Amino acid sequence: MSDPSRSDVPSPPGDDVPLVPVRLRPDYRRRLWGGNVLPEWLGGEPPPGDEPVAEAWVAHGGSVIMDGPWHGRTVDDLIARVGPAVVGEASVARYGARMPLLAKFLDAADDLSVQVHPNDAYARAHHPGSGHLGKTESWRIVHAEPGARVVWGVSRPMQPERLRRAAEEGAIGTLLRSVPVASGQLIHNPAGTVHAVGAGSRLYELQQASDLTYRLWDYRRKGADGRPRELHLTAALEVADLSGRGEPFVPPRPGADGWTQRVACPFYLLEELATDQDAGRVVDATTLADDGAQLHLLTVLNGSFRLTGQGTEPPMTLPEGATALVPAAYGAYRLHGRGTVLRGRTGPAG
């Protein structure tokens, strides 16, 4: 959360300031497997460091607001002040007054580690007081080089000890399911899925707001400190789904309103609008969900859109790569533009 004592952070607005959509500043992360494309595409400056830029966190609790009365503050600041009006009553009832989602872009020039994430119950039992949720996540492939692949699940049912031995012997790759990927595909990783992004992919990820990750294998790579990166075999094998069942790809489900549902799970929905006509789409955050208003995250993959609301605030321009947060209590808004925009929203799937 922002430090209110800093001279460059403005004081929070008063209670009478209207709640409006806000643009969020990309927050870059350096990782040894990154590819350095994201800052040029999304704008802004990455933090200093020697490792390449691998991730851009475009919406999370620490995201800095770029405009409006909350300029310079964070999403956490906003939620601390007005809670349910930002994330929705259902989300607050489930997780408290906190940002429940994290959206990011990943740029993989090298293979990521083979990893697995726990569910909510395991996170609560084994990481008490950490504030972490479990971690279910979904990938929308933005760009894939020829031959790009991902790891998704195990190739056949097996006992945990077999996978442990393979990891310790460096032979885990023979037991994992490797699948080719192409731009436009949607891959869903429920908590417990053994997975890894392969080299040559750039993707958008929507996930629960957790960073609990257990590594099963990391190619014996060394971190910035020169030491092999830590594995977490015991925890990983306690939560991993080793059934060999399931499919990685989620087929799109076109909707009557022009939006295509890409994934619906108990933690979020991800939808996509692709249009070559500047025809204005009306969206009402207060009526889309059966359980009440939801926070919306809008990210433009290509083209440009303009967001207008019901109040007197000026239209918001969303160029390619931009992300905006629309508070749950904002109500109806209209999108004009051409291109492709993703919409993530909170709450259990209806």
Q: What is the DSSP letter of 200?
A: T
Picking from 350, 345, 323, the residue whose alpha carbon sits closest to that of residue 65 is 323
Residues 177 and 152 sit within 8 Å (Cβ to Cβ): yes
Q: Cα–chain-centroid distance for residue 33?
A: 18
Q: Length of the chain in residues, anyone?
A: 350
Residues whose CB falls within 8 Å of the CB of residue 178, separated by 6 or more in sequence, listed in order: 149, 150, 151, 198
Provide the annotated active-site residues.
Answer: 215
Task: Quote the tokens at residue 242.
Answer: 């080793």
* Residue showing tokens 């959509």: 21
E-assigned strand segments in the chain: 22-23, 27-30, 53-59, 101-108, 114-116, 137-144, 149-154, 176-180, 186-189, 195-197, 201-208, 214-217, 253-254, 260-264, 268-275, 281-284, 296-309, 316-318, 323-326, 332-346
Burial class of residue 62 in the structure, from the number of CB atoms within 10 Å of its CB (0-12 exposed, 13-18 middle, 19+ buried): middle
Beta carbons of 63 and 83 less than 8 angstroms apart: no
Q: Which DSSP string do the residues of 41-78 spell out, in sequence order? A: HH-S-PPS-SSPEEEEEEESTTPBB-SGGGTTSBHHHH
